[in-house]
Structure 1
Amino acid sequence: MTSSGAYMYGSLPDNLQTQFYNASLDDFATVLLAMKTIDGSEVPEVFAPSRQEILQAGMTAREFIKACSFDSDYCDFTDFHQWQNGVYGNCFTFNSVFSRMNETHHGLGKEHLQHIKTTTHYGARYGLRLMLNVSLDEYMMAVTPSIGVRVTIHHPQQVPFPEDNGFNVAVRSRTSVSVRRGEVHRVPKPHGNCHTDDEWNKKWAGAYRSEGCLIVCLEQRIRERCSCVRTLNTILMPVERHGRCNPTNQTQDECVAKIRLDFLHDLEPCDCRPPCMEKTYTTGLSFDEDNDEFSRILEDVKGIQTPVDAVKVHVYMESLSANVIKEAPAFTEVTLIANVGGSFGLFIGLSLVTIVELLEFLCDFLAMGFARLRFSDRPVGHRKVASAP
């Protein structure tokens, strides 16, 4: 679990577009006025911080994770892997293989699976319970369209993409998340055309996902041609040699827009086939109101202080069973041999029947011929007929 559109400014009126591109980031009102949308959803893109800025200004795991338990056992902020995301800043992943891998490591992290926590329980009595501190007083409200926590559920070996997958949890709320596991097994070549983890791990970390492939494909082109970083995910692409892409930079903005447009029109497609082995998680959400009196009792007895801007999340398995979908080849070498053998058996059987019938016809024909020859070789008797006087 991790808590944590193409921008086409060419459609802006000429005066606003020029004003937007020429605006200084210090002139916040000018930038807001020149934006295309009225809800300010482009603000995070314009004022996107670098990784170093996120590390310096973002919340640490100790500040963010105030209480943790897993299947009624104690856990704390040290059980979380911290990484940086371009949209949500510092992100914290529970039960991740990447917490024991360095940033330059490429692979699936199989050697670290022994350290992953597992559960043999299901139902709302068990699972992961978290109390998170949002600290609204430290928010940069002018550049933050929404407040709360972003949560995404994924496999320990998968790279999370909270900006594309996940759900939001509001401040001062209690959210329960039921999880059902699923698997999809696709057939590789020559019967199918899926992508294996081994191919992916030659250069990138984590289990292969089509979403990650598309992000890497487009991001590599943007970094090479536009000299800026549009998607920041320090697990997938830790190297950050350029600054963040800024929509107020006309050159960068037009460059990024062209790359994304060429991709949408299949002028520069990405080879992102579906994974041969895909693990999925289906979630169901429910909400209830927090009991302030119970929180006060815990604070008095156990010294657990509930933050004013707390977010409480409970994640549990709905069932230990999994929905498994397996593809199978319609025609394999075994079925080919079986079908060819069956066909040969059928044809040879018919041929034997035909040959027997032909032999029987020849025997009958020869027997009739010999019988005629024997009849024609017999001497013919002569009769003497006397004439009447």
Structure 2
Amino acid sequence: MDGLPRDPMTNPEKMDDYSEEAYGRPDYDENPKEGTQKIVKEFVDNATTHGIPRVLNASRPWHSRLFWCVVTLILAGVFLYQGSMLVFSFINRPTTTKISIITKSKLEFPAVTICNLNMLRRSMLKGTRFEKLAALDQDHAVSGIGLEDSDYSWFFSEPSSLGGETTDGETSEVDTTFPPNRGRRALNAESSYYSDDEYDYTDIEDIKDPNDWEALYNHSKASDYTNFKNYVKPTREEMRMLGHQAKDFILQCTFDTEACSYKNFTVIQNAEYGNCFVFNNAHKLKRKKRTPTSRTGSQYGLQLTLMLEQPEYIGVLSPDSGVKVAINDPRIYAFPEDDGIEAAPGIKTSIGIKKTSISRLPKPYGDCMRKHTSYYDPEKYDFSQRSCLKLCLQKTLQSECSCVTDILITGSMCQVTNREQGNCRNRVFSDFIRNRLNCNCSNACSESVFNPRIAISRWPATRHEAHLYDRLAMINKKAARILTNVAQSRNNLVRLSVFYEELNFENVVESPLITVESLFGSLGGLLGLYIGMSFISATEILVFIYELLRSSCSRRGNSSKHTKVSGP
């Protein structure tokens, strides 16, 4: 029996030992004050933090404990301030940008969009609503300024009338002189051509026919006729039929010294320039077929010889002669009127490009967008901010004014002679400029930008003209007529070169400045620096507070129990 454990109820002397040793905790119910002191002593002896145990250690002098209390409170305040600032910064989702140079053996070639600066061909206007546009050039010409259609008879005539190879194999001489007359309206000292009485600028609402080009021309008050050009709004189908054609516009084409042709280009319509032609259009190539290049330098890349057909120009609509060139990502829609480069005739324009790839963060770090379901169709082209804004404007015009001013969407064109449409259009444009249309068009999350560097030289060289004629005369009859005269060839031919300067690109990546991992790492560093604590130490403090609260609750429970027992 002596070796067996005894029931503590039969041995009251050992009851306290059993309650403390068997259950592993002090008897707070019987000795609450000693239990609290034991909890504090155990924490002071075993805590991994530094400042708090020195404050709670009862064996230390009071002034030492006071000193450590002040130091601990000050450093804890510093930690709380810097830690809260760090947390607030994390909540604001700041970002950082990393820029690196990446070198590749091959790079995807960009989309190159080329447009003639003339929208409509005058030879195709007969029988259309634009027929009288061509007559404006002749009606408003003065002596010595401007050319009539008869002055360009050499261009529109058949090749046989210009000479060439005779039946016996000999080459006849070609008469390259032009008629001396320069217009029918002579200007003398008594002429009132520039007097205000000549033109009666009536209000535009008095013009009943929106195709009365003479009346609209006279109404135009801008010295450069820019507002008159806004009156001429062909439809997409009219541009396709009446604009310049690829086979006449693109005479020569090579890519990385390999021959190509106008058949390698796809046609799009642009409200400013009519028919434009795109090389390496990813949408038309079913988005998967890419055109890479592994060569750099001006002798490689895309080389083009383009014919402007200046006799086809409409003077009032085309104050400039040349080509508009836009270089952009193959998967986005091009807007050459916004960011294109102009190439002049008689000049070789070399465009060396460097690629920059940009990656942005979506919410909650940024506001970039991958697609837009309201104003953009992602099945056709990838999202771009410019496309989104333009489509938003046209959608708003269509919904509020029942007309559009661009061919990006299908709809009837706004009539300049319609007062109601004009007022509505002005209101929408005003709201658009003030950013009141709620278009919600932010930057794209991923985009490629091509930075150009332009060089020009005189072209063609004198001794190269014979070789040029030898090749182009077989390709295009109109080009053969132009090349028989040096002045006309320089007025109508454009040489264009687009190439990579280097096979590397700048990669700009936006990333979070503070991640969850770096947030906790920084908070842990601040804890260790100012308070000498780790997250384990913080856990120990929480357990210590829990034990104190439990001890306090046990004491209150015992006090309530004794009150009930001692009552009557």
Does residue 295 (structure 1) correspond to residue 465 (structure 2)? The answer is yes
Whole-angstrom distance in 2 between the partners of 1:286 and 1:57: 33
Partner of 2:340: 166
Q: Are residues 199 and 52 of structure 1, via their aligned partners in 2, closer, same or farther at CA, if it must alter by over 3 Å?
A: closer
Whole-angstrom distance in 2 between the partners of 1:146 and 1:55: 21
Whole-angstrom distance in 1 between the partners of 2:377 and 2:524: 45
Within 5 Å, give how 1:241-252 maps onto structure 2. Answer: 242-252=411-421
Letter in 1 for 2:388: C
**1:190 shift after superposition:** 1.6
**Equivalent in 327, 333, 338 of residue 510 of structure 2:** 327
Whole-angstrom distance in 1 between the partners of 2:386 and 2:372: 17
Cα RMSD between the aligned structures? 2.9
Q: Are residues 19 and 177 of structure 1, via their aligned partners in 2, closer, same or farther at CA, if it must alter by over 3 Å?
A: same
Partner of 1:64: 249
Q: Are residues 269 and 16 of structure 1, via their aligned partners in 2, closer, same or farther at CA, if it must alter by over 3 Å?
A: farther
Whole-angstrom distance in 2 between the partners of 1:325 and 1:16: 58
Whole-angstrom distance in 2 between the partners of 1:280 and 1:335: 32
Equivalent pair of 1:122/1:316 in contact (CA under 8 Å):
yes
Whole-angstrom distance in 1 between the partners of 2:471 and 2:533: 89
Partner of 1:123, secondary structure, is coil
Within 5 Å, give how 1:197-236 maps onto structure 2. Answer: 197=371, 203-204=377-378, 205-233=380-408
**1:201 shift after superposition:** 9.9
Partner of 2:428, secondary structure, is helix
Partner of 1:145: 319
Equivalent pair of 1:181/1:281 in contact (CA under 8 Å):
yes
Partner of 2:351: 177
Letter in 1 for 2:206: N
Equivalent pair of 1:19/1:30 in contact (CA under 8 Å):
no
**1:60 shift after superposition:** 1.9
Equivalent pair of 1:44/1:87 in contact (CA under 8 Å):
no
Whole-angstrom distance in 2 between the partners of 1:28 and 1:202: 35
Partner of 2:445: 276
Partner of 1:39, secondary structure, is coil
1:52-90 C-alpha deviation (Å, 9 max, x unpaired): 111221122112111100010011111111111111100
Partner of 2:284: 99
Letter in 1 for 2:338: D
Equivalent pair of 2:376/2:388 in contact (CA under 8 Å):
no
Equivalent pair of 1:20/1:35 in contact (CA under 8 Å):
no
Partner of 1:349: 533
Whole-angstrom distance in 1 between the partners of 2:203 and 2:372: 49
**1:332 shift after superposition:** 1.1
Does residue 20 (structure 1) correspond to residue 207 (structure 2)? The answer is no
**1:328 shift after superposition:** 1.7
Whole-angstrom distance in 2 between the partners of 1:37 and 1:260: 20
Does residue 121 (structure 1) correspond to residue 295 (structure 2)? The answer is yes
Whole-angstrom distance in 1 between the partners of 2:445 and 2:362: 6
Whole-angstrom distance in 1 between the partners of 2:200 and 2:502: 54
Q: Over alpha carbons, which structure has the higher Rg?
A: 2
Equivalent pair of 2:376/2:391 in contact (CA under 8 Å):
no
Could you tell me which runs of 5 or more consecutive residues in structure 1 were left unpaired when the two chains were aligned.
5-14, 102-108, 356-389
Whole-angstrom distance in 2 between the partners of 1:280 and 1:287: 22
Q: Provide the identity percentage.
A: 27
Q: Are residues 352 and 259 of structure 1, via their aligned partners in 2, closer, same or farther at CA, if it must alter by over 3 Å?
A: closer
Whole-angstrom distance in 2 between the partners of 1:264 and 1:201: 18
Equivalent pair of 1:45/1:246 in contact (CA under 8 Å):
no
Whole-angstrom distance in 1 between the partners of 2:211 and 2:537: 94
The alignment of Structure 1 onto Structure 2 pairs a total of residues equal to 328
Q: Are residues 87 and 254 of structure 1, via their aligned partners in 2, closer, same or farther at CA, if it must alter by over 3 Å?
A: same
Whole-angstrom distance in 2 between the partners of 1:268 and 1:301: 54
Equivalent pair of 1:181/1:322 in contact (CA under 8 Å):
yes
Equivalent pair of 2:375/2:395 in contact (CA under 8 Å):
no
Whole-angstrom distance in 1 between the partners of 2:401 and 2:435: 20
Whole-angstrom distance in 2 between the partners of 1:282 and 1:26: 41
Letter in 2 for 1:294: H
Whole-angstrom distance in 2 between the partners of 1:287 and 1:336: 54
Partner of 1:81: 266
Q: Are residues 55 and 17 of structure 1, via their aligned partners in 2, closer, same or farther at CA, if it must alter by over 3 Å?
A: same
Partner of 2:342, secondary structure, is strand
Whole-angstrom distance in 2 between the partners of 1:17 and 1:226: 27
Within 5 Å, give how 1:35-54 maps onto structure 2. Answer: 35-54=220-239
Whole-angstrom distance in 2 between the partners of 1:16 and 1:57: 32
Whole-angstrom distance in 2 between the partners of 1:200 and 1:341: 46
Partner of 1:256: 425
**1:30 shift after superposition:** 2.8
Equivalent pair of 1:80/1:99 in contact (CA under 8 Å):
no
**1:98 shift after superposition:** 2.1
1:277-317 C-alpha deviation (Å, 9 max, x unpaired): 12111112221111143131243378466553111111111
**1:25 shift after superposition:** 4.1
Whole-angstrom distance in 2 between the partners of 1:341 and 1:195: 35
Letter in 1 for 2:114: S
Whole-angstrom distance in 2 between the partners of 1:170 and 1:282: 20
Whole-angstrom distance in 2 between the partners of 1:349 and 1:56: 79
Whole-angstrom distance in 1 between the partners of 2:204 and 2:365: 52
Q: Which protein is richer in helix relative to its size?
A: 2
Partner of 1:230, secondary structure, is coil
Letter in 2 for 1:225: E
Does residue 154 (structure 1) correspond to residue 338 (structure 2)? The answer is no
TM-score (normalised: structure 2): 0.53
Partner of 2:61: none
